[in-house]
Structure 1
């Protein structure tokens, strides 16, 4: 049986579109510290809505970065954890975060100059 064709011919664009959104990296970073429940993730990230966190977790689960485990309890307990694939993104993600922190001031100054402000 032949595997289905990729919907997106560019692997870079396909992956970055999914993990490069506003919330995915923050979710991955929070889960890097260990398994968390939904409300723990909500508190760890801070300013994300419940709806957006739920949507982000579903997308990360669909892409194989996050595993969702439901415990048969009343009320149900649901935990989220990084998969091997999710853990594999942490090192390059850390490098990107370090680069952003090291270069943020220069980027902000460049934006000011481009907008006609004083650098």
Structure 2
């Protein structure tokens, strides 16, 4: 595998773009929300139902954070009752590339990693 040629940064400098990428993937709900929105806009209630296991508070916090980061676009419709939908921006859609790649890796190696984690150290 060839490594891309990036501009020089220090080993752990705060302005290194790779740190941002690692931070994004460190938030487990962020990647789940991006993946869930891959086919188009959704209302928060539909996101919560589709994702499962996420609290309303965590969903709201993560959606707001993603909107501030420019990964999501919030659309508000002047209806009664008001309707809100979230859609991926181009930056959010581009996150699907590493998410899909991670999915391929997990499909190929997940069983081996899981087996290694739960192997009895005495064996």
What range is the shorter-chain TM-score in? 0.7 to 0.9
Quote the residue 2:58 is aligned against: 52
TM-score between both structures, scaled by the size of structure 2: 0.81
User: What is the count of residue pairs matched by the alignment?
Assistant: 111
Moved more, 59-68 or 8-17: 8-17
Quote the residue 1:94 is aligned against: 100
Q: Structure 1: state its 5+ residue gaps.
A: 1-6
Structure 1 residue 36 displacement after superposition: 0.2
Q: Tell me if structure 1 keeps the 8 A contact 2:72–2:88.
A: yes
Quote the residue 2:35 is aligned against: 29
Q: Structure 2: state its 5+ residue gaps.
A: 1-12
Q: Tell me if structure 1 keeps the 8 A contact 2:72–2:86.
A: yes
Q: Secondary structure at the match of 1:52?
A: helix
1:78–1:9 CA distance, 2 compared to 1 (3 A): same
Q: Does 1:105 align with 2:115?
A: no
Q: Does 1:116 align with 2:121?
A: yes
Q: Tell me if structure 1 keeps the 8 A contact 2:38–2:88.
A: yes
